[in-house]
Amino acid sequence: MRIPRFIGGSVKDWIDKSPVAKKLQFGHLQILKEALKNPGSEFTAKQVAHDFDVTDNTARSYLNKLVTQDLLIAAQSKNGKTTIYLAPANLRARLKL
């Protein structure tokens, strides 16, 4: 299996460098990889579930853990029914890269 390229190296290089990443599972790291590529991007549990072929509950669990680690920001949609997870512009700093 080919390891995808990542900003400044591979995901493996990034995992080796970030003390925060060592505490996370593969699904968390995939979400963070997308967040780093697109600062300010929005994620929903439904989108993550579809993109990574996991259940909505698993996706929500991944996203909520990233919020508790201060790596994503949770906000309510305008209708208040959906939680939107935002990739902060300073994510690299939060990851201590």
Cα–Cα distance between 94 and 48 in angstroms, integer? 21
Q: What is the pLDDT of residue 86?
A: 96
Q: What is the pLDDT of residue 14?
A: 65
pLDDT in tens, 4-57: 444 455 555 666 677 777 788 888 988 988 888 888 999 999 999 999 999 999
pTM score, two decimals? 0.80
Residue ranges of domains in the chain, CATH in brackets: 5-94 (1.10.10.10)
Across the range 86-92, mean pLDDT stands at: 91
Q: What is the pLDDT of residue 77?
A: 87
Three-state secondary structure readout of the chain: CCCCEECCEEHHHHHHHCCCHHHCCHHHHHHHHHHHHCCCCEECHHHHHHHHCCCHHHHHHHHHHHHHCCCCEEEECCCCCCEEEECCCCHHHHCCC
Q: Select, from the ranges 11-15, 61-65, 90-94, the one with the highest average predicted confidence (pLDDT).
A: 61-65
